[in-house]
Amino acid sequence: MNKTVFEKNSPFYQVLKARVDTYFRQNAIAKTGNGQLWLKAALLGGTAVVLFVVLLLVPLPVWVQLVLSATLGLVLAGIGFAIMHDACHYSFSSSRRVNDLVVLSLNALGGNAFLFRQKHQLHHSYTNIDGLDDDIAKSPLLRQCDVQVWKPMHRYQHWYVLLLYPFSGIFWITVFDFTKYFKGQISNMPLRRMNRTEHILFWASKAFYFFCYVGLPIYLLGFNNWLVGYLVMNMVMGLTLALVFQLGHVVEHTQFYQAKEEGGMLPVHWAEHEVQASANFALNNKLVTWYTGGLNYQIEHHLFPRVSHVHYPAISKLVQQTCREYGLPYFCYPTFTSAVQSHFRLLRTLGNTPPAVTPTTALAGA
């Protein structure tokens, strides 16, 4: 598939980028992470290790094991949000080597940093463009925008998605990674060739995962105890990951496009598209911001992916001001709950509305 391209000139982005650059220069701070981010990494990483060891080695009542397994799922999701994600964008540290090392935390969780970086780069380059953004092509069971094929079963997607999201992490680790690896592509785009080191890392980290999260716990705890704890941990982690990532783009009012096989020109600049295709939520909730690694500031993140999430609250004021000046929307839900409700309303609307009835979305290349 040829590239879908954007308009080249954007006074909006030029002004906004100048303002953000001025903010960092005047305050004499780096755009990457700071001591607070390192402390968060130590806290989340240390907590995960302690919980894992306790679950394996300390005899506990069943209800305590379940609570700790669920807590471990939340902590692992937090590592993905707040630590791995920044490193993926080279914004965790000013050192490229440190970022390359920290992003391997995803491999320790069962994923693969090499595949995720490419998948995530496509998501940032072609946000909400069906056929290029793999994040809205998760499964034919889901219709996430109005240019995707409608099927009668989609009428119930806002219900059965509650069964799909909790298992999304397990499918990511055991199915989706291997599919991308063997097919050599992500969505409709070819995968960058892996060198020998990347091949070794892929198989070694998968072996590490199955040993640490499957083989060793079965040996120490028995199959039944392992299975219950493993499912609880992964269902909590999968549901948390899926919801937070979906709330940034698959909600009401955000813009979607459809890619053409021959490529084409979108009628907006990349930065303006990112504003229109993204949404924020719970900006006044410091706990949500801390835990999600600033993914509730999705607009700021997509405009400035090389800026660490610890700076999003500050530069958000500049983004909002510039959006107002240039007549661009700034979609923001006041709470996490209101964003979740919008996501499920959109799924219900898309499930009940075949594309032939409401062809409302512009097409790239049209």
Domain ranges of the chain: 4-352
Q: Which of 274, 365, 361, 268 is nearest to 3 (CA)?
A: 365
> Would you write out the chain's pLDDT as a tens digit for each of its 366 residues?
446 678 888 899 999 999 999 999 999 999 999 999 999 999 999 999 999 999 999 999 999 999 999 999 999 999 999 999 999 999 999 999 999 999 999 999 999 999 999 999 989 999 998 888 888 886 789 999 888 889 999 999 999 999 999 999 999 999 999 999 999 988 778 889 999 999 999 999 999 999 999 999 999 999 999 999 999 999 999 999 999 999 999 999 999 988 765 566 777 899 999 999 999 999 999 999 999 999 999 999 999 999 999 999 999 999 999 999 999 999 999 999 999 999 999 999 999 977 644 434 444 433
Closest CA to 285 of 296, 271, 274: 296
SS3 of residue 285 by DSSP: coil
Which residues are within 8 A (CB) of 37 and not within 5 positions of it... i.e. 6 or more apart? Answer: 82, 83, 86, 92, 308, 310
**Cβ-contact 252, 350 below 8 angstroms:** no
Across 330-347, b (16+ Cβ under 10 Å) vs e yields bbbbeebeebbebbbebb
**CA–CA gap between residue 354 and residue 154 (Å, rounded):** 9
332: Cα separation from own chain's centroid: 18
d(CA 280, CA 82) in angstroms, rounded, equals 16
CB pairs under 8 A, 24+ apart, for 345-348? 345/158, 345/252, 346/250, 346/251, 346/252, 347/142, 347/143, 347/144, 347/157, 347/158, 347/161, 347/250, 348/157, 348/158
For tokens 């080695």, what's the residue?
Answer: 57
Res 321: pLDDT:
97
